[in-house]
Structure 1
């Protein structure tokens, strides 16, 4: 799925940012500037995609050989 950012504006002027196609915290990174411009955040709802691990977020560490 391609990455999409949708900004919804209600008749009362409230805004909602909806992201699709992002995994992990990439959605927060992508919308940070928009959130700053649009004003104070009242509610944040994270989708299941937020809890998906991105390859960039995965760090593999090698354990030192303790047998020496």
Structure 2
């Protein structure tokens, strides 16, 4: 499989409902780790970055 095909396959997986739930869980976990490591000092920033990432990956609402 070529690299382009692998990218397409990953995008299709993220566009599924299961993929969306998985990406949301991973982003939530990443935000929590960042908040834990910084003592919540950058909570608003990590929330903003998490929301921006969520808009870029996963299911695209029509």
**Which gives a bigger RCO, structure 1 or 2 (Cα 8 Å, sep 6+)?**
2
Structure having the higher strand fraction is 1
Give the TM-score, by structure 2 length.
0.31
The structure number with the bigger radius of gyration is 1
